[in-house]
Structure 1
Amino acid sequence: MSSFPFKYTFCQEDTIRNKHEDKGTQRELVKSLVNQRKYLLAAANPGESCEFGSSKYFLLCGLGGMIACGSTHTLVTPLDLVKCRIQVNPQKYKNVGTGFKVTIKEDGIKGLAKGWAPTLLGYSAQGTFKFGLYEVFKVVYHDIIGEEYSYIYRTTLYLAASATAEFFADLALSPMEAVKVKIQTTEGYANTLREAMPKMYKEEGLYSFFKSLGPLWMRQIPYTMMKFSCFERTIEILYQYVVPKPRNECTKAEQLVVTFTAGYIAGIFCAIVSHPADTLVSKLNQKKGSSVGDIVKEIGFMGLWGGIVPRIIMIGTLTALQWFIYDGFKVAMRMPRPPPPEMPESLRRKLGK
């Protein structure tokens, strides 16, 4: 579970208990370690493969993100292709059903897989940075503002960490996203990654791979902010009000079901807030020399929402699967998985709770 370790020194409690039988001494030691944020140097629990906050931990988070994003985006390539074609040519591809029928009629079943290679490469790179750096920046920002403010303003912390991570992730994604959209939406341009990349470079140079970076940031940063913050808070709510027992009493399978549910809820909101920018990305990569203003003027406000239904289905499923795979990867690799955040004892005393 990707949840911020506001009191991750709990991972040392078994060791502390063995060394300090006196409970008062134990509490003072734990408090001291928390205040100094020694959780970054905390020894891994027995059975865990790495220490929380270690280089190995963050690298494994990046690897989990690569697997989660690369596999799921590649899996839904047919739906993504139809969504992009609805956005750029709504007269021909009127809806999801028509989009699939026309594509299969003209290109065969194989045509639905167009763009799978840049999708796999691009979103694998993006997932590595997105998930890996999110975990890094959560720790960095927590360390800056302290334990109590990290709990009080945890939603803001999730938003800031995810936005920063996605900024860098999109730099890795942009070239392959441009190639993918070109293959999927420009008839007769190219059928494979090997055909499209040299052709794009010859026509427009490196600019062709980054010309939609602005709209990509507009699409992906709000999407990722919603993806992580909504997921984190939904997890809290589900365990607090829906799941009939505490998280530590749930089996790993039950925890993964909660993860999938929270991921799907987050995905629906992600699709809605990022869809207009997604349309701009598709149109910009289809039409050489067009600007954002040109596209908006051409298709109007309502045109920005073309393909919203298949994108909600796609992004809801994608987001749920990504969190499920990512959390499942942590379980399989025996990585630390901190529980949902709890109010720090120092703040509880201040508030008289």
Structure 2
Amino acid sequence: MAFSDSSSGRNSLIPSFLYSSSSKTLPLHRMLHSTAAAAAAAPSSPPANLDAGSRGFMIPSPSESRKIELYSPAFYAACTAGGILSCGLTHMAVTPLDLVKCNMQIDPAKYKNITSGFGVLLKEQGIRGFFRGWVPTLLGYSAQGACKFGFYEFFKKYYSDIAGPEYASKYKTLIYLAGSASAEVIADVALCPFEAVKVRVQTQPGFARGLADGLPKFVKSEGTLGLYKGIVPLWGRQIPYTMMKFASFETIVELIYKHAIPTPKNECSKNLQLGVSFAGGYIAGVLCAIVSHPADNLVSFLNNAKGATVGDVSVRLGAIVAVSKLGLWGLFTRGLPLRIVMIGTLTGAQWGIYDAFKVFVGLPTTGGPAPAAAPAPAKA
């Protein structure tokens, strides 16, 4: 049986798209030519002969990541996030040292020194006892770090703008001190409730396992205001600590780049800059520990005492009792060697993590050469 040569028979046996002369179908060489021409004319846009549905599946070419503008809302948000990471993680990591330090301050007869302190805790509470109170430590110091670093960057810029370029350069250390003090006032309000529960959990065995059961017990026995009974000595400890931490860090880093590293900061590698941040932070941490240690002893003593509330006369009496019990020398020295090791390492790690996060999001590291003063306007 022969097939008919008629167009009707051919159309019935062969798919129409193979021979159709419709204007919607182009020969292969014309398709390639039109696509290449469109790509040459507009390489970043999809070919014109693609419909809207096809364009939805086009993957744009990677573009250069945008840098965060300094002193923009995104900049302050990044500094806040870096503060959360730097303070929360580092304080949680040194929980065993903090635990021994608090117990040495509260019960020096039982916890005579660092070695015996670790031995007593290991014998009575086991390995798990070294991390008692890590949850309020993590949450409290994360909140504090967010406010401390975020508001420090804000207040440093704010006070510099008030002073003007010339005086901001001339009195930069005063601006560092004022900015860090202002930030710490806010940060301690966020920290204080967690710090109160942490000290009670760490220094009174059997009081609570952690934050979840310790916070309700504390509020039930002391009242809500009892969470802030240590706010004044906490300010007394943390404000000088933070002022020393930020002002000395900025000064030390500036001196390192000026005298120890011949290469300008913007030409140094990121790893070298982060190493400078850690070294400057460690030295600043040692100074911080010495300055703030007497108030740290008072905070531990008052948060361990029962029945006092913020603003109560018993708080002031408790401070007098603490001084008389510890003695002036003990107030400045008890637990200080351990705190120097702890705070030095802690502060160095904090600045390292904070600046590493800033580098990760595209921001420059903290500190460096002093800003140049603006030239005085020429007289007519």
User: For the superposition of Structure 1 and Structure 2, which TM-score range results when normalised by the shorter chain?
Assistant: 0.7 to 0.9
Contact 1:48 1:335 in 2 (8 A): no
Q: 1:157 aligns with which of 172, 175, 181?
A: 175
Equivalent-residue separation in structure 1 for 2:275 and 2:325 (angstroms): 44
Corresponding residue for residue 359 of structure 2: 331
After TM superposition, give the deviation of residue 296 of structure 1 in Å.
1.4
Equivalent-residue separation in structure 1 for 2:278 and 2:82 (angstroms): 15
Tell me whether 1:203 sits opposite 2:221 in the alignment: yes
Equivalent-residue separation in structure 1 for 2:181 and 2:251 (angstroms): 16
Equivalent-residue separation in structure 2 for 1:310 and 1:276 (angstroms): 14
Corresponding residue for residue 321 of structure 1: 349
Q: 2:326 aligns with which of 290, 296, 299?
A: 299
Q: 1:308 aligns with which of 332, 336, 342?
A: 336
Higher normalized contact order (CA 8 Å, seq sep 6+, divided by chain length): 1
Code of the residue aligned with 1:332 in structure 2: it is F
Tell me whether 1:248 sits opposite 2:266 in the alignment: yes
Contact 2:166 2:374 in 1 (8 A): no
Equivalent-residue separation in structure 2 for 1:348 and 1:100 (angstroms): 64
Q: Deviations over 1:168-222 (max 9, x none)?
A: 0000000000000000111321121112111111111112210000000000000
Q: Percent identity?
A: 52
After TM superposition, give the deviation of residue 326 of structure 1 in Å.
0.3
Code of the residue aligned with 1:74 in structure 2: it is M
Gaps of 5+ in 2: 1-63, 309-313
Equivalent-residue separation in structure 1 for 2:182 and 2:256 (angstroms): 27
Task: Map 1:98-247 to 2 at 5 A.
Answer: 98-247=116-265
Code of the residue aligned with 2:284 in structure 1: it is A
Number of equivalent positions: 305
**Is the alpha carbon distance of 1:256 and 1:348 closer, same or farther for their aligned partners in structure 2, counting shifts above 3 Å?**
farther
Corresponding residue for residue 282 of structure 2: 264
After TM superposition, give the deviation of residue 111 of structure 1 in Å.
0.1
**Is the alpha carbon distance of 1:218 and 1:348 closer, same or farther for their aligned partners in structure 2, counting shifts above 3 Å?**
farther
Q: Deviations over 1:237-258 (max 9, x none)?
A: 0000011311112100011011
Greater shift in the superposed pair: 330-339 or 110-119: 330-339
After TM superposition, give the deviation of residue 295 of structure 1 in Å.
1.5
Gaps of 5+ in 1: 1-45
Contact 1:48 1:336 in 2 (8 A): no
Code of the residue aligned with 1:296 in structure 2: it is V
Code of the residue aligned with 1:159 in structure 2: it is L
Q: Deviations over 1:48-102 (max 9, x none)?
A: 5311111110011001001000000000000000000000111100111111010
**Is the alpha carbon distance of 1:83 and 1:347 closer, same or farther for their aligned partners in structure 2, counting shifts above 3 Å?**
farther
Equivalent-residue separation in structure 1 for 2:140 and 2:301 (angstroms): 19
After TM superposition, give the deviation of residue 297 of structure 1 in Å.
2.0
Greater shift in the superposed pair: 334-343 or 59-68: 334-343
Equivalent-residue separation in structure 1 for 2:261 and 2:376 (angstroms): 26
Tell me whether 1:59 sits opposite 2:77 in the alignment: yes
Contact 1:52 1:336 in 2 (8 A): no
Code of the residue aligned with 2:353 in structure 1: it is I
SS in 1 for 2:189: helix
SS in 1 for 2:375: helix
Greater per-residue helix proportion:
1
**Is the alpha carbon distance of 1:99 and 1:48 closer, same or farther for their aligned partners in structure 2, counting shifts above 3 Å?**
farther
After TM superposition, give the deviation of residue 344 of structure 1 in Å.
2.1
After TM superposition, give the deviation of residue 293 of structure 1 in Å.
1.7
TM-score (norm 1): 0.84
Contact 2:136 2:198 in 1 (8 A): yes
Corresponding residue for residue 14 of structure 1: none
Equivalent-residue separation in structure 1 for 2:273 and 2:76 (angstroms): 22
Equivalent-residue separation in structure 1 for 2:259 and 2:211 (angstroms): 48
SS in 2 for 1:59: helix
**Is the alpha carbon distance of 1:348 and 1:255 closer, same or farther for their aligned partners in structure 2, counting shifts above 3 Å?**
farther
Q: Deviations over 1:243-279 (max 9, x none)?
A: 1311112100011011110000100000000000000
Q: Deviations over 1:314-351 (max 9, x none)?
A: 0000000000000000001112447432322516999x
Q: Larger Rg: 1 or 2?
A: 2
Contact 1:267 1:316 in 2 (8 A): yes
**Is the alpha carbon distance of 1:247 and 1:347 closer, same or farther for their aligned partners in structure 2, counting shifts above 3 Å?**
farther
Corresponding residue for residue 43 of structure 2: none
Greater shift in the superposed pair: 75-84 or 47-56: 47-56
Tell me whether 1:346 sits opposite 2:375 in the alignment: yes
Code of the residue aligned with 1:303 in structure 2: it is G
